[in-house]
Structure 1
Amino acid sequence: MSEQERDRRWTLALGTESEDGAAPLSDSDRRMALALSALYGDGSDRKGRGGLGGSAPRVAKWLGDIRDFFPTPVVQVIQKDAFERKGLRQMLLQPEFLATVEADVNLVADLVALRGVMPEKTKETARLVIGKVVEALMERLQRRTAEAVRGALDRARRTNRPRFSDIDWPRTIRANLSHYQPEHRTIVPERLIGFMRQQRRITDLDEVVLCVDQSGSMASSVVYASIFAAVMASLPVVATKLVCFDTAILDLTEELADPVEVLFGVQLGGGTDINAAVAYCEDRIERPSKAHLVLITDLYEGGDADALVDRLAGLVLAGVNVVVLLALSDQGRPSYDSRLSARVAALGIAVFACTPDQFPELMATALRREDVHAWAADRDIKLIRSDS
């Protein structure tokens, strides 16, 4: 063993840089040291409680890091240590916690990431917590998504006698503004406008494939994508598939009736093979001219980037409407691979980040085959340029 390698190992073990300023750690080594210090503390406090945070730790990205650096048996030991040291077991088993928990997508991501090391009793409690959060998110997002998708596909066929679930609320409100009742602070609609249901053969349906990167950095995107997929799968006007991936591929289409079950099928963290996932989706697209592939990934490709670009180019040439979302989350500008994203943008594919509140309108724009670039630009959404 060389002296440099020996110094490197001691530095990692102690959690400190060398005193002579030589800083033998590479960027990868520093990430490894930070991942360990988050749980065990640095070399001066290895027995301390570490730095994963006072609430449920932001486990998703952290688990992704440790899976990158350590073999599975070691990862399992570290996960169990995190579960015990951070007091998650006690927190999740308290009824008071369940009664006061807020609808936080980050909490869902943390629980999903930890489920593999939870005892069965705790796992049942975690499922209740996730169910509560999903219910709140569904209430926030379901109606707008259903209206946007139906409106995009049945826009030409409207009726003044719609079923309640088919009412086009924005148009109905505009048509009844003259019937506003100030004393009640509400509108009494005399005329309902909605979408006319029509029998559509399965071969006529637009196909939507949500292909979602489940590496740790994409945790909240996975949660939101799963909920949107479940909403769209419930609509008879579109055929929806959900595929999650890291280095393995998980087709969750058959589970979409239960978004909580979908999330319990996700494995957050690990490596990334985007090309393999897109190849899987390509094989399952039946009608390219009526297909929409929404690829949700930060484009940090661990597989074959050149093959990925060629594959996406082939899908576009075949008529598939491809959109790449660098994130589907409430957070700000995401971290992403700028070089690969520019190569994908050069294919004419819209590449940008999107919030959950923007996603229904984005999906409607895509389903109408309108210009997604123009839609994003009109909303001051930063698009990745081919020369960036």
Structure 2
Amino acid sequence: MDEEVDIGETEPAGDGRERRWRLAIGADDEKSSALSDTDKRLSAALDALYGDGAGDTVADPRKRRGGLGRSAPRVAQWMGDIRSFFPAQVVQIVQKDAFERLNLKQMLMEPEFLKAIEADVNLVADLISLRSVMPAKTKDIARTIIADIVAKLMQRLEQNTAEAIRGALDRSQRTNRPRQRDIDWPRTISANLRHYQAEHKTIVPEKLVGFMRKQRRLVDLDEVVLCVDQSGSMASSVIYASIFAAVMASLPVVRTKLVCFDTAIVDLTEELSDPVEVLFGVQLGGGTDINQAVAYCADRIERPTKSHMVLITDLYEGGNGQELLQRLASLVRSGVNVVVLLALTDQGRPGYDPKMAGSVAALGIPVFACTPDLFPDMMAAALRREDVSAWAAGADIKLVRAEDDSPAANP
């Protein structure tokens, strides 16, 4: 595969300014002496997406519509060229442009294209949204791609989540058969100093010393309800929330429920053993009825003082907004630990309804956006019944301020 080409720094075959213009507008590339052979390949790859065909001149790139055609080998070759010329971040931008400018919904039906495309969370969202119209063969490939992406995300997120959320350690008791995460390393090293191996400059720990875990009965377990907005704007948040729900459901120290909603409600709790199956149960798109979803979750909370509800939504309510605020206020009064996340993504500050967010914050509910890497620590703070707003401030996360004149301030 070729090395990535930097448009601004690669030595041009002719005049540097002409080269950059040729690459930008795609005019008579094949005849231009300003472009090297590599430049012409780059230009052809860009023209396939942003032009009317190689060599055509269009003044406004926004009006240029190329065509990768329906030839799967050409699609795969085009994807290979794009990935050879640009870093992964740029590849994802080009893919997004391709999806919007061209008829990639049809192209995603082609297995060869799915095998060539750069996989990320956004691709998972695209595949999930199109699964109902995919032919069986393509759906199988899509499931494999989603499973691969989910496995990589699980590998990235699972350990920290388990470590942060797992039951508190009872440090008053010790055991010589601790789990790896419970080993008391200072005491273990001290107890094994006589086994120091000078030639290897290490200690062979024949005796492990660790902390004994508190035994918790099932009825004592805290309950976590993830209530997730699955409208189109929340696609990435749904994917991350589903993965975290699957991780938490695998831990014997909390009981986890996952509820996704738009104007309908999908309870995916029974599917949490298989995160890929969870994602295939999500229905991305549609309207938003947050009030209805919160009511559904509230009805299934059995022990409010041992329950935590994380509502993940941009708060653009299509249902009864005032009733939503009253319902959230009732949950808080009953002892449920409520947190509202405006987004659970790697991106920056999300779009959300500022008025509704301020009204929710006026109830004393923390309202902010969170990245996947910070979510485990946030969840651990919530389970310890710490001040989640203080935790967020300490993590340099900007919280939504309460609306002083909001009717929710005095529900």
With the length of structure 1 as denominator, give the TM-score of the two structures. 0.72
On the 8 A contact 1:58/1:106 being kept in 2, the answer is no
| Runs of 5+ unmatched residues, structure 1 | 1-37, 63-79
Matched, 1:89 2:105: no
Aligned residue for 1:302, secondary structure, equals coil
On the 8 A contact 2:229/2:290 being kept in 1, the answer is yes
Matched, 1:55 2:100: no
In structure 1, the partner of 2:41 is none
In structure 2, the partner of 1:116 is 132
Amino acid at match of 1:252: L
On the 8 A contact 2:257/2:269 being kept in 1, the answer is yes
Matched, 1:149 2:165: yes
Aligned residue for 2:324, secondary structure, equals helix
Q: Deviations over 1:86-132 (max 9, x none)?
A: x2223x4368538xx54x21121111111111111101100000000
On the 8 A contact 1:207/1:291 being kept in 2, the answer is yes
Q: May I ask how many residue pairs the two structures share in their alignment?
A: 319
Which of the numbers 167, 173, 189 marks the counterpart of 2:181?
A: 167
Displacement, 1:200? 1.2
Q: Deviations over 1:6-54 (max 9, x none)?
A: xxxxxxxxxxxxxxxxxxxxxxxxxxxxxxxx9xxx9x9698659x974
| CA RMSD, 1 decimal | 3.5
- Distance in structure 1 (CA, Å) of the matches to 2:263 and 2:200: 56
Matched, 1:307 2:323: yes
In structure 2, the partner of 1:238 is 254
Q: Deviations over 1:322-365 (max 9, x none)?
A: 00000011101010000000000000000000011101111110
Aligned residue for 2:358, secondary structure, equals helix
Aligned residue for 1:89, secondary structure, equals coil
Compared CA separation, residues 53 and 237, structure 1 to 2 (3 A): closer
Mark the structure with the bigger radius of gyration: 2
Matched, 1:198 2:212: no
On the 8 A contact 2:392/2:398 being kept in 1, the answer is yes
Displacement, 1:198? 2.1
Compared CA separation, residues 287 and 89, structure 1 to 2 (3 A): same
Aligned residue for 1:225, secondary structure, equals helix
In structure 1, the partner of 2:298 is 282
Displacement, 1:192? 5.2
Amino acid at match of 1:384: V
- Distance in structure 1 (CA, Å) of the matches to 2:259 and 2:198: 49
- Distance in structure 1 (CA, Å) of the matches to 2:124 and 2:199: 42
Greater relative contact order: 1 or 2 (C-alpha under 8 angstroms, separation 6 or more)? 1
Displacement, 1:154? 4.3
With the length of structure 2 as denominator, give the TM-score of the two structures. 0.69
Aligned residue for 2:165, secondary structure, equals helix
- Distance in structure 2 (CA, Å) of the matches to 1:384 and 1:161: 48
Amino acid at match of 2:387: D
In structure 1, the partner of 2:371 is 355
Compared CA separation, residues 126 and 315, structure 1 to 2 (3 A): same
Compared CA separation, residues 160 and 81, structure 1 to 2 (3 A): same
Which aligned segments of 4 or more residues in structure 1 are displaced greater than 2 angstroms?
Answer: 44-50, 52-59, 92-98, 153-164, 171-195
On the 8 A contact 1:352/1:381 being kept in 2, the answer is yes
In structure 1, the partner of 2:232 is 216
Compared CA separation, residues 283 and 207, structure 1 to 2 (3 A): same
Aligned residue for 2:397, secondary structure, equals coil
In structure 1, the partner of 2:311 is 295
Q: Deviations over 1:232-258 (max 9, x none)?
A: 111111110000000000000000000
Aligned residue for 1:323, secondary structure, equals strand
Aligned residue for 1:286, secondary structure, equals coil
1:171-190 correspondence runs (5 A): 172=185
On the 8 A contact 1:291/1:321 being kept in 2, the answer is yes
